[in-house]
Structure 1
Amino acid sequence: MSRTLAPVPGLPPDGEPVPRDGSLPARALTRVGEQGFGLYVHVPFCASRCGYCDFNTYTAAELAGGVTRDSYAALVLDELRLAARVLDGTAPKARTVFFGGGTPTLLPADDLVRILDGIDAAFGLADDAEITTEANPESVDPAYLSRLRAGGFNRVSLGMQSAARHVLAVLDRKHSPGRAAQAAVEAREAGFGHVNLDLIYGTPGEREEDWAASLDAAVAAGVDHVSAYSLIIEDGTRLAARIRRGEVAMPDDDVAADRYLAADAALSAAGLNWYEVSNWAADTDARCRHNLLYWQGGDWWGLGPGAHSHVGGVRWWNVRHPSAYAGRLAEGASPGEGREVLDDADRHVEDVLLRLRIVDGIEVSSLAPPGQESAARAVADGLLDEPAFEKGLARLTLRGRLLADAVVRDLLPD
């Protein structure tokens, strides 16, 4: 089990240079928003660095006098103005906006609302736009959440990870075990219609009963969405170093599979049904529409250092360090560091890779003949749903979700 494509992965790929003015090929501009349009806002600040995290984030000590929280909103608004110039009226109103990080809620709530207002002025927000911010449980309180809600935010995603104190300690999480659930209650009381809790399973030292308690606590919090991810050990992280030194054990794949099955059983019993391999929601309205934008091949502009964007078949990524990001913008230049123009074959591979992970699946007819043959074998092996296959769809079974990456490889033979 692994996370899907993220807007700020650990390391960017190679690519061609981004034009200084950030301009896009004319063909890309004719295709903006065909599958929806949204914006991602990366906030690279963290109070402390979690031991498992390789995202593009910085503590105050790591920035060492560079870009500050107080100056950050103005920088994002500078890039937003560049985005509006580049797209020049070609983009539809934004259906989703997602503030991620890092910890967006380390910024003042007024700054997050200011950025959101800037997005509305630049592109417009759809009447039913989904506006999400990630938050660490200790970085919000009722007053902060109420200000966000009044400013237009309607969804919050809280990093819970675990209800076990010793598991949080291995992950270097700073909040107390019960704080995430309490923050979820506060968010609902502030008027948020949609609240997610993020969980991580497979942490060294996590017991079966620890995971069961975490699932119970998430359900008891009354949220309408839960994301559950297997712990991935990323090179260069503090946790990877601890494993190399033998201080903690490497996560076990068989244990991770058992944890996933336990999650699906507990969440399904609570009325939260899977709609993507690592995500469960109470109903269609509770699904994260911003993430669906990624999984269904939509367009988004990523604002902030290290943020990735995808518009009209062009993907690009910004320089990673906040100071370099600020420097580019101060020169009136795009902060983009590199980009790649996807051809039809690239887009097909990504479409299969991402769409297969969601409950809607993919049309079998979209696969090449060898892939269609592989799909038939996957049905026989219990990896794809037989009734769906008979209707022309490749849809993962529960067993198939455990082996999703292998199923994708078989459906995309060389």
Structure 2
Amino acid sequence: MPSALPLGDPAPADGLLPASAAFGAGGRDFGVYLHVPFCRVRCGYCDFNTYTATELRGVSQSEYAGHAIREVGFAAGALEGSGIVSRPVSTVFFGGGTPTMLPASDLAGMLAAVRDAWGLVDGAEVTTEANPDSVDAAYLEQLAAAGFTRVSFGMQSAVPHVLATLERTHDPERVPRVVDWARAAGLQVSLDLIYGTPGESLDDWSRSLDSALACEPDHLSAYSLIVETGTKLARQIKSGQVGTPDEDLQADMYELADARLAAAGYDWYEVSNWAKDAAHRSRHNLSYWEGHDWWGVGPGAHSHVGGVRWWNVKHPAAYAARVLANESPAAGRETLDTETRRVERVLLSTRIRGGLELGVLDRPGRTAVAELIADGLVNAEAALRGSVELTLRGRLLADAVVRRLLVDEPASVAS
């Protein structure tokens, strides 16, 4: 089942934010995330807040777009009532689940509600995630006509036995076709890959990279498989049905991906993300990493505005009850203090290319940078320009680098 929501303070039913959230809002981008929590089947590795048809009780999938549209209207009123300057939306992202389980007209209606509530900036990025077997050419054309600019396909692998372990249902041979259909509709294309699946060899991963690059996507994401507690995959590993992911092999896979993508003209801009050029980077995801504002619509969706973070109730039925009563669907929230915001900035900005200014670090953190350079984890030239940028080896050990930047202890990542 999906992971539990975090603990936090009670969220007010009117959704109003403290006065501190309005400070500096005009200098931050504003994005909207719309969560569509439906999947045809639940993949064994997934702990996202998603539901199959048999798990939905007390709510209809066909009513969902209307519920999300109600939250958009509620959000606009709550932000205005909180004294937060109205900003046109820079990015819109439909995630899931599988957003394209809904009719294209439902996604179009949800996007129209966002446009009506706040407007969109010129050239706004509008993305939806999609499974390769959940769309056809006509569906993608409808999305483009509605104002979508980008689609992110969950390819994951080109190797049937890897897809079977992940419980992905699409035929890998369909991926090039859906990419062609999206491109013909005028949409930018991103492909998502997962590496390190139990039983996946380096040759398997190389084959997946070759297949992805043959599609010539504008953007590519590659994430190492993380075994989440409570998932079917975690139970299979515990029982010995499948093997444990090999961290050394995952590191080899990452290095192979970075080399292959660089040779094909893709540049890394975040530890797990590459793009053909800056214009094709995921602006929505960058807004998360750079600490901008976004409102998350839908059950279990998370939001952040001006240092205030909140998260919605998880089940679609509970969510529907709240929005139909014109109440905030938030289950809890927290207001981040100055030090927490600084720590999160270190955590997130370190992952993006040239992202962390040295001035954000405290004295022990700045001292650690010299040690990290000596260990080959941080780029020396970037440090001279005043920023922390990870080397390839640093990207492999990004979490350890962050710990070193934040904790006043002797370096422990040189081995």
TM-score (norm 1): 0.96
Matching of residue 95 in structure 1 with residue 87 in structure 2: no
Which residue is 1:6 aligned to?
A: none
- Size of the alignment, in residue pairs? 404
Which residue of 387, 395, 405 corresponds with 1:393? Answer: 387
Q: Quote the offset at 1:208 in angstroms.
A: 1.2
**Gapped regions of structure 1 (runs ≥ 5):** 1-8
Which residue of 157, 160, 167 corresponds with 2:162? Answer: 167
Q: Quote the offset at 1:26 in angstroms.
A: 1.5
How is 1:379-390 mapped onto 2 (pairs within 5 angstroms)?
379-390=373-384
**Bigger mean CA offset, 377-386 vs 355-364:** 355-364
Query: d(CA) in 2 for partners of 1:33 and 1:114?
Result: 27
Which residue is 1:78 aligned to?
A: 70
Query: d(CA) in 2 for partners of 1:229 and 1:35?
Result: 28
Which residue is 1:59 aligned to?
A: 52
Matching of residue 147 in structure 1 with residue 142 in structure 2: yes
Matching of residue 108 in structure 1 with residue 103 in structure 2: yes
Which residue is 1:259 aligned to?
A: 253
Q: Quote the offset at 1:33 in angstroms.
A: 5.0
Query: d(CA) in 2 for partners of 1:35 and 1:395?
Result: 23
Which residue is 1:46 aligned to?
A: 39
Q: Secondary structure at the match of 1:178?
A: helix
Which residue is 1:36 aligned to?
A: 29
**Bigger mean CA offset, 237-246 vs 50-59:** 237-246
Query: d(CA) in 2 for partners of 1:397 and 1:333?
Result: 47
Write the deviation string for residues 364-399 of structure 1: whole angstroms up to 9, x where unpaired: 122101000111100011000011111111100000
Which residue is 1:127 aligned to?
A: 122
Q: How high is the sequence identity, in percent, across the aligned residues?
A: 58
Which residue is 2:207 aligned to?
A: 213
Which residue is 2:186 aligned to?
A: 191
Q: Secondary structure at the match of 1:388?
A: helix
Query: d(CA) in 1 for partners of 2:56 and 2:85?
Result: 36
Does the Cα contact within 8 Å between 2:108 and 2:146 map onto a contact in 1? yes
Query: d(CA) in 2 for partners of 1:340 and 1:164?
Result: 43
Which residue of 94, 117, 121 corresponds with 2:112? Answer: 117
Write the deviation string for residues 20-70 of structure 1: whole angstroms up to 9, x where unpaired: 111100221233353311000000000000010000000000114x32221
Write the deviation string for residues 296-315 of structure 1: whole angstroms up to 9, x where unpaired: 00000000000000001100
Query: d(CA) in 1 for partners of 2:173 and 2:338?
Result: 48
Query: d(CA) in 2 for partners of 1:69 and 1:14?
Result: 28
What RMSD, in angstroms, separates the aligned Cα atoms of the two structures? Answer: 1.1
Write the deviation string for residues 228-247 of structure 1: whole angstroms up to 9, x where unpaired: 00000011111111111101
Query: d(CA) in 1 for partners of 2:185 and 2:324?
Result: 38
Q: Quote the offset at 1:190 in angstroms.
A: 1.2
TM-score (norm 2): 0.96
Which residue is 1:324 aligned to?
A: 318
Which residue is 2:413 aligned to?
A: none
Which residue of 235, 255, 263 corresponds with 1:269? Answer: 263
Q: Secondary structure at the match of 1:333?
A: coil
Does the Cα contact within 8 Å between 1:57 and 1:101 map onto a contact in 2? yes
Does the Cα contact within 8 Å between 2:354 and 2:382 map onto a contact in 1? no
Matching of residue 370 in structure 1 with residue 364 in structure 2: yes
Q: Quote the offset at 1:329 in angstroms.
A: 1.4
Query: d(CA) in 2 for partners of 1:162 and 1:184?
Result: 15
- What code does the residue aligned with 2:39 have? C
Which residue of 9, 24, 31 corresponds with 1:16? Answer: 9
Query: d(CA) in 2 for partners of 1:322 and 1:155?
Result: 26
